[in-house]
Amino acid sequence: MKKILIVDDEESIRTLVDLYMKKAGFKTVQAKNGREALEKFDSEKPNLVILDLMLPYVDGETIAFKLRKKSNVPIIMLTAKADETDRVQGLEIGADDYVVKPFSPRELVARVKNILKRVYPEEGTLKIKDLEIYPKEMRVYKNGKDLDLTVKEFKVIFTLAKKIGSILTRDEIMNEIYSEYDEVVYDRTIDAYIKNIRKKLGDDPKKPKYVESIYGAGYRLIKDEL
């Protein structure tokens, strides 16, 4: 369970954010000022920090700067400053996102989930080159963009990814992606899936970066850049 450090000098905001984070399944820790935030960060070791800029004792920008010197933990700045210059400055300091008050708690939860998903991939997730493969969701992302694969296309690329660098025959791939209850399929069905996958990857079959055809043998997912 991921832990969120909520830093804000307004109790009502801390309570609201705390409530929504707990509903979303996160553990929470609260800090009401800058000094306490730094102490809680060291003692609690949170997975993400929601950080108000206007804080007593130590301001949010200083805290973000100090955290960035020793950690890459994600930081979402929560502030009343809506000016573009303030946003840019916050991001330059090292914040991963910037939320302006008043804000939607549900939107904040969504932003937290998106950042955590990117920084702490779920167990079983495969990262290959610029691809992220999520087995539970049956999705593949390239540079953060969903490739929108069909179920069978996902199963093909996941099968290749699990044995990256190894050549798999069409029969071996078919045995992995089809059950005894599926329709009768043929070798060329796998070829069609590979063609669609390459198209969505933007992969050139003549100079492949991802999926390589091995004449008379089958296919493999390439380990290294060609």
Provide the residue-wise pLDDT of the chain in tens; the chain has 226 residues.
789 999 999 999 999 999 999 999 999 999 999 999 999 999 999 999 999 988 999 998 899 989 988 888 999 998 876 666 666 666 667 788 888 888 999 999 999 988 887 777 666 788 888 898 988 888 899 988 889 999 889 999 999 998 898 999 998 998 888 764 455 566 688 999 999 999 999 999 889 999 999 988 999 999 865 3
CA 43 – CA 85 distance, rounded (Å):
33
Q: What is the pLDDT of residue 226?
A: 39
| Pairing between β-strand 48-52 and β-strand 131-134 as defined by DSSP bridges | unpaired
C-alpha pair distances (Å), 222 with each of 135, 156, 200, 219: 19, 14, 16, 9
**Residue 65 token pair:** 């700067």
**Domains delineated in the chain:** 3-119 (3.40.50.2300), 126-221 (1.10.10.10)
